[in-house]
Structure formats: C-alpha cells, structure tokens
Amino acid sequence: MLKNNVKLTLIPMIFCVLFFSVAGPAFATPAGQDVTLPNGLVIDRWMLQSDGQTVANCLGQTFSQYGNKTMQEMVNFIYVDPYAASASDAQNRFFEAVDAANPPFDTSVWHTGGYTSYIEDTLYQQQPASPYGAFADKSFYESNIHHFRTWGPYLYQGAWYTIVATSTESYIWYEFTHVWVSFNSARDTLLSGLLTSPIDPGFVQLASVNLQNQIPTSNPTLTTGDFDGVTVVVQSPAAINMDPD
C-alpha cells in the first residue's frame, strides 16, 4: 500500500517538473502593478527584482535632492516590431537596431542583472542576460552612462512588443558602485539614437503613453526622480539594414 501511495504521489510531482521545465512557470501580474495600453495590451509599469514582485529601487540608494526617498525604477520605453517573423527574430532585430543607434548601445558588464517584468501574465527575464547586466552606450567606469534592460518580445495584434527600462548612471570609483543620475536622459538618448540611426528607412516614433508610474512628490517615502511620466513608443522599420543598397 505504501509503495502505491508513493507512486501516486510521484506522478503529479513528475508531471509538474516536466511541465515547468518545458513551459515555464505561470505567473499573474501583482494587483495594481500593470497598466493597459490604448490598444488593450497589458504591461508592467515597473522593472522588478528577480522575485517578480518587488519593484527595483536603485539598490536601495536614496537621494537628498529627492528628500532621501526610495527610488522606484519604471518602464519608460516601448519598442514595437510588426515585421519580425518570430520571437527570436524580434529579439535579434532589436539588438541589431540598438547596436546601430547613434550612439550605439552594446552589452555591458558590471551592471546589476536578474531583473524581471511582465507583459500580460508572462513574467520575462531581462535581456541582456547574465553575465551582462545591461545595454549601455559607454563603459561601466564612465560618467553619465545611458543604459537599459528589456523584457519580451510579446506578440500582440500582429506586432512584437518589447518593454524597456532606461536610466542614466555614473560610476563612483572610490565606492566601486554606480549611482543613479536620471531616467529622462537615458530614455531620450535611446529615442534620439534610434531616430537618427543610419538604418534606412528609419524608425518611427509613435504616440507616447502614460503608464501611470510617475510617483507624485507628495508621496512621503517613494520617488521616481526626474521622470516626467512619458513613456515613448518607437516602431521598427521593415528592414534592419544599415546599407539600403
């Protein structure tokens, strides 16, 4: 009888292991954390820590210019690709696009990694994945490094959506760490970099959206720094090709 019970117990356990190893775990976005875009797509407002629940907070750093409040890191950029043939194609095309931006963004080491974010009810791991921590336009030891991480892509209404969290930071050599500088400057640098890319025909800026992730100054404990509440949206051209000939 004991042997039969063990067998019956093992069957669902084995099924679960196989299911999660193939399909990945099913998650639901924490209540109040997501927002619906005008086209109906539900995305996360925030960059999350590896637990898929806790909002990333610049490693707990606080900033006197913002009342020594905890900084919350938001999604502030959306990339749309209606021309990719698959998820891997959409991801590769995006990587090629930012590598051809002006300035170019490439994978960079010595940034924190392991962050997550949701599109619909799917929890995505950040790209670039370990051992790289971010896409950046400068080396990790410089000042005013514009960098970002991405989640997705997710297919919705015939287009692949990638959500992005951008921020600017500087390396403090005597503390061996990065310190937050800005959200808006990194977002605007990435936007300008794509719009002025040598890729031809170029990228198109779509209508910006408000993800309701700008924390008001009246909040006693949390802040989003200089973030102005604007999440920009850019659409890919059909050909990610720097040589139109």
Residue 7's pLDDT band (cuts 50, 70, 90): very low
pLDDT value, residue 175? 63
The residue whose two tokens read 């370990």 is 130
Nearest-angstrom CA–CA distance, 54 and 51: 7
What pLDDT digit, counting tens, does each position of 226-240 carry? 999 999 999 999 999
Average pLDDT for 41-55: 97
User: Which of 167, 205, 212 is closest to 185 using CA atoms?
Assistant: 167
pLDDT value, residue 241? 73
pLDDT value, residue 15? 30
Backbone CA torsion sign across 29, 119, 179, 128:
positive
Whole-number Cα distances in Å, 38 to 58, 156, 161: 29, 13, 14
Nearest-angstrom CA–CA distance, 107 and 87: 19
pLDDT value, residue 242? 61
Count of C-beta atoms within a 10 Å radius of residue 37 = 15
Residue 27's pLDDT band (cuts 50, 70, 90): low
pTM: 0.86
Nearest-angstrom CA–CA distance, 198 and 101: 8
pLDDT value, residue 176? 65
Higher pLDDT, 171 or 134: 134
pLDDT value, residue 9? 33
pLDDT value, residue 111? 87
Question: CB of 222 within 8 A of CB of 67?
Answer: no
pLDDT value, residue 172? 74
Average pLDDT, the chain: 86
Structure tokens of 92? 């590769």
For residue 174, pLDDT over 90 is answered with: no
Residue 130's pLDDT band (cuts 50, 70, 90): confident
Average pLDDT for 11-31: 41
Sorted by where each begins, the domain ranges of the chain are 25-235
Question: CB of 79 within 8 A of CB of 236?
Answer: yes
127: Cβ contacts below 8 Å, ≥ 6 apart: 91, 149, 150, 151
pLDDT value, residue 11? 32
Which range (44-53, 96-105, 170-179, 227-236) has the least confidence?
A: 170-179
For residue 48, pLDDT over 80 is answered with: yes
Q: Strand, coil or helix: what is 95?
A: helix
Structure tokens of 144? 């005013």
Count of C-beta atoms within a 10 Å radius of residue 62 = 14
Question: CB of 60 within 8 A of CB of 67?
Answer: no
For residue 2, pLDDT over 60 is answered with: no
Question: CB of 33 within 8 A of CB of 44?
Answer: yes
For residue 112, pLDDT over 70 is answered with: yes
What pLDDT digit, counting tens, does each position of 60-88 carry? 989 899 999 999 999 999 999 999 999 99
Backbone CA torsion sign across 136, 123, 36, 155:
positive
